[in-house]
Amino acid sequence: MTQHTGLVPARWARFTLGQQILQIGVEMQRATSSLRADRLASLRLGYERTLELVDLTLEVNDDPGLRRELGLWRGVVEELHARAEPDPATHRAALKVLLQLHPEAAGQIPGLGL
């Protein structure tokens, strides 16, 4: 995982939680274009970038409810990453659940058709 190596926790912490969730969502949305068996390597890279941002978010936020929910959500992405075949339905459901974690992010759900 090298995409976000220059993104240190102190810099990530300057973003609001809504912005952090939206940026995680952007990585998931980018991965959506790779939801095909012939693009599995690209899909996995997208999940790795997503997990990097989730880890940063967990590191800089100390709200126990958020940490619990985002930690559970992270587990779903780990499972998607480990699958031998893409799972578009679970991918889209996971993206929707992520965006529902914050009102600012939830406003993007209709535009994404989720």
Angle at 46 between CA 1 and CA 56, to 5 degrees: 55
92 CB-near residues (< 8 Å, 6+ apart):
32, 114
Other CB atoms within 10 A of residue 33 CB? 11
Which pLDDT score is estimated for 54? 97
- Report how far residue 10's alpha carbon sits from residue 21's, in angstroms, rounded to the nearest whole number: 16
Under DSSP, is residue 77 helix (H, G, I), strand (E, B) or coil?
helix
Tens-level pLDDT at each residue, the chain (114 residues) = 455 556 789 999 999 999 999 999 999 999 999 999 999 999 999 999 999 999 999 999 999 999 999 999 999 999 999 999 999 999 999 999 999 999 999 999 999 999
